[in-house]
């Protein structure tokens, strides 16, 4: 980790939320993009297990391994001066037993230098969240749509509407010691009521404006994955289009002998 006086520690992250500042979180998976996100001033960077789909081109988040999460997490942490870095625990790294979960969470923190881990689940993971917290590892929980449960829940884009279950999950995670909770694909009115009922921040994705903060997948918000355009997503740039047209120009200039010109050549 690059220590910096500007670093957003966990207490500072929580103090910002308590002061009513809306938190901006984004995913990044490597040194270059983490540096860009950090320079842009996000409060937190998530090394999401979405890297399985976005970086590795898989069809779900299930295949990514703990070693791969650590490999990417370490690159991200080395780039970041300021943002709070959270690394996802991948599928089957915390479900088998609490002992294994604590050991794997410990590996993530020791080998990447990240500030916290995230895992999916509320009530069903309460015991695991408590055990990891007792090892002094901060835990962000994730309720609502849980991509790791795609086999159980069916389609990944399914909005979760059972308010009582969502509130019970969020409350169980808070009581177990989670410092924040991602609410994914939760109707906006339910997300607002859950946020009001909790004393820890909620970070929404597809959960409306009433959460304490928002998280988006970095390549999605930058228009690098243009075929993925769910209702909740806004493209803040169209980087794939710009990149394709830049490389097309390069191809044309090389084939026409315009590049490299004299200004790019040593004499």
Residues that are catalytic? 184
Q: Judged by CB under 6 A, how many residues of this single chain contact ligand KIV?
A: 12
In the chain, where do the E strands start and end?
A: 23-27, 44-47, 84-88, 116-120, 139-144, 180-184, 202-205, 213-216
**Residue 43 near ligand KIV by CB under 6 A:** no
Q: Looking at 34, 79, 143, 205, which residue binds ligand KIV (CB under 6 A)?
A: 205
**Residue 215 near ligand KIV by CB under 6 A:** yes
Q: Which residue lies nearer to ligand KIV by CB, 57 or 262?
A: 57
Report the residue number whose CB is nearest to ligand KIV: 48
Tell which residue, 62, 91, 64, 175, has the closest CA to residue 129: 175
Q: How far is the CB of 46 from ligand KIV (least distance, A)?
A: 6
Q: How far is the CB of 203 from ligand KIV (least distance, A)?
A: 7
Q: How far is the CB of 192 from ligand KIV (least distance, A)?
A: 18
Q: Looking at 49, 74, 115, 174, which residue binds ligand KIV (CB under 6 A)?
A: 49
Cis before 85 (ω within 30): no
Q: Looking at 13, 16, 17, 27, which residue binds ligand KIV (CB under 6 A)?
A: 27
**Residue 50 near ligand KIV by CB under 6 A:** yes
Q: Looking at 79, 80, 217, 221, which residue binds ligand KIV (CB under 6 A)?
A: 217
Helices 126-134 and 163-176 cross at an angle (nearest 10°) of 20
**Residue 108 near ligand KIV by CB under 6 A:** no
Q: How far is the CB of 53 from ligand KIV (least distance, A)?
A: 9
Q: Is residue 26 within 8 Å of residue 47, measured between CB atoms? A: no
Q: Is residue 143 within 8 Å of residue 181, measured between CB atoms? A: yes
**Residue 16 near ligand KIV by CB under 6 A:** no
CA dihedral 153, 158, 162, 166 (to 10 degrees): 80
Across 247-258, b (16+ Cβ under 10 Å) vs e yields: eeeeeeeeeeee
Across 67-88, b (16+ Cβ under 10 Å) vs e yields: ebbbbbbbbbbebbebbbbbbb
Distance (Å, whole) CA 44 – CA 9: 10
**Residue 88 near ligand KIV by CB under 6 A:** yes
Residues of this chain that bind ligand KIV (CB under 6 A): 27, 46, 48-50, 88, 142, 182, 184, 205, 215, 217
């Amino acid at each position: 980790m690059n220590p910096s006086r500007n670093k957003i520690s966990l207490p500072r992250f929580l103090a910002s939320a308590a002061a009513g500042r809306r938190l901006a979180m984004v995913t990044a998976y490597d040194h270059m993009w983490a540096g860009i996100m950090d320079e842009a001033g996000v409060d937190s960077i998530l090394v999401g297990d979405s890297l399985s789909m976005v970086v590795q081109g898989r069809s779900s988040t299930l295949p990514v391994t703990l070693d791969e999460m650590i490999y990417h997490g370490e690159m991200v942490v080395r780039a970041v001066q300021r943002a709070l870095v959270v690394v996802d625990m991948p599928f089957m790294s915390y479900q088998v037993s609490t002992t294994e979960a604590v050991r794997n969470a410990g590996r993530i923190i020791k080998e990447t230098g990240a500030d916290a881990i995230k895992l999916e689940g509320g009530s069903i993971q309460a015991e695991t969240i408590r055990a990891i917290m007792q090892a002094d590892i901060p835990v962000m929980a994730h309720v609502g749509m849980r991509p790791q449960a795609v086999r159980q829940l069916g389609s990944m884009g399914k909005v979760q509407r059972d308010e009582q279950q969502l509130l019970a999950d969020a409350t169980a995670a808070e009581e177990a010691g989670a410092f924040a909770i991602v609410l994914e694909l939760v109707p906006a009115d339910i997300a607002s009521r859950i946020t009001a009922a909790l004393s820890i921040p909620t970070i929404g994705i597809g959960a409306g404006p009433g959460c304490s903060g928002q998280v988006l997948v970095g390549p999605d918000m930058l228009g690098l994955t243009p075929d993925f355009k769910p209702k909740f997503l806004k493209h803040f740039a169209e980087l794939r289009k710009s990149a394709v047209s830049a490389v097309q120009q390069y191809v044309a200039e090389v084939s026409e002998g315009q590049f490299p010109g004299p200004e790019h050549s040593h004499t």
